[in-house]
Structure 1
Amino acid sequence: MGLSSHPDGGAHPPRAPKAGLLRRFRRSERGVAAVEFGLVAVPFFALMFAIFETALMFWANEILEESLSQASRRLLTGEAVSRYTSNNPAANAQAFRDDICALAPTGLIDCSKLYVDVKLYSSFANASAGTGAVTAGGALNTNGFTYNQPQPGQIIVARAVLDYQLFLTSWASAALANIGPGRTALIATTTFRAEPFVGS
């Protein structure tokens, strides 16, 4: 068993596998798609996550701006005078901050990381957004942030700064971060003249 006959009557050992088997293996394209996908999957999904994170960050900034604008109507109309009645500016700032957070979709703005600044000026020419919210060294700067009760006809500059957490992709986060690893400052500012309401 295992021997094959030869025309001359002799016997030969079993023949070796044909070389064509190796050639067929090299030509086979089964599994190529899976291998190619495996090569591009990691950078593809990383890019998708980076796009998603960037879009989410811009959306959060837009929500912050809209919420600040809506809450600032209380400053514009003088409602703030009867709404934020504490003698402590920090308490009034916290109440104003809570109103901003209440106007934003639940969970999108971390109120514990939101800082507000409300300043008054006599004219638009003198109005200023105050000190920069981000230092040259890449730190969040809220020094000088306070709450000034609006007065009729005065120029009001209201600012909200959110310490926003980046979380999806480390390399994208590094490109977007400006106040430390995985964190960026989202800033919203609005400037307007208060209506001639009856002051406190």
Structure 2
Amino acid sequence: MPPSLTFVAALRRFRRNRRGSAAVEFAMIAPMFIALLFAILESAMVFFASQVLETVTQDSARMIMTGQEQTAGKSKAQFKSDLCAKVVALFDCANGITVDVESFPQFSTVSLPSPIDANGNCLPPSNYSPGGPGDIVVVRAFYQWPIFVTGLGFNLADASGSKRCLTATAAFQNEPY
């Protein structure tokens, strides 16, 4: 730097120079852009997983509604196995999916507890009562989906351990089989 160049003159020359300004601007914006991109991707994955769980729950509940599960004498483990057979690769079915099947005499008596306790843990019920002909049955499937993008105020987790407690529900009246 020449001795005649003062600090103020160097600062003015730096502000006038526009070479590399796009790179500097991108470096300032890139972290927020990438965080937003990952948040969008994670939201899409959670929504997709929720829809897959909803679909397999509806399909499996149809077997109870038509009486096929009851007349075959299938157990809770067999029902869960049938449900897991419909999930291809999205879930760890053996360790992750919990199934809750409860029957009620009428729709007005249906009462379902939240799967998330006071401490934020996802502890879904695990009953198996498919009911008989004409009974009201509620089939629920639960899965704890891991959440990775939790920074910058964006957090889809509703359970402890950065997890989302996905819940799929089918409510119906059994057919007279």
The alignment's TM-score, normalised by the length of structure 2, stands at 0.84
Q: How many residues align?
A: 171
The alignment status of 1:146 with 2:127, answered yes or no, reads: yes
- Percent identity reads 35
The answer to whether the aligner puts 1:78 opposite 2:64 as a matched pair is no
Residue 8 of structure 1 corresponds to: none
Offset of 1:107 from its aligned partner?
2.3
Of 30-39 and 178-187, more deviation after overlay is shown by 178-187
Alignment of 1:8-19 (within 5 A): none
Q: CA deviation at 1:126?
A: 1.4
Alignment pair present for 1:94 and 2:74: no
CA contact (8 A) 2:159 2:165 kept: yes
Equivalent residue, structure 2, for 1:123: 106
**Shift in CA distance, 24/132, structure 1 to aligned 2, threshold 3 Å:** closer
Task: Give the deviation of 1:172 after TM superposition.
Answer: 6.5
Kept in 1, the 8 Å contact 2:100–2:140? The answer is yes
In structure 1, how many angstroms separate the alpha carbons of the residues matched to 2:129 and 2:153? 35
Q: Name structure 1 gaps, 5 residues minimum.
A: 1-15, 86-91
CA deviations on 1:85-124 (whole Å, 9 max, x unpaired) are 3xxxxxx2222222223223x3212212111111111111
Report the secondary structure of 1:184's partner residue. strand
Shift of 1:24: 5.8
Larger radius of gyration: 1
Q: Cα RMSD over matched residues?
A: 2.4
One-letter amino acid of the structure 2 residue matched with residue 189 of structure 1: T
DSSP 3-state at the match of 1:119:
strand
Map of 1:3 onto structure 2: none
Contact 1:84–1:95 (8 Å) recurs in 2 = no
Describe the shift of the 1:172–1:94 C-alpha distance in structure 2 as closer, same or farther (beyond 3 A). farther
**How many Å apart are 1:179 and its aligned residue?**
1.7
Confirm or deny: 8 A CA contact 1:156 1:193 kept in the other structure: yes
2:153 aligned with 1:170, yes or no?
no
Cα distance in structure 2, aligned partners of 1:66 and 1:149:
19
Q: Are residue 58 (structure 1) and residue 41 (structure 2) matched?
A: no
Query: Could you tell me how far 1:29 is from its partner in structure 2?
Result: 1.1
Residue identity matched to 1:162:
Y
8 Å contact 1:84–1:96 — kept in the other structure?
Answer: no
Unaligned runs of 5+ in 2: none
TM-score normalized by the length of structure 1 = 0.76
Compared CA separation, residues 132 and 26, structure 1 to 2 (3 A): closer
Contact 1:173/1:182 (8 A) holds in 2: no
Q: 2:150, 2:156 within 8 Å by CA — same for their partners in 1? A: no
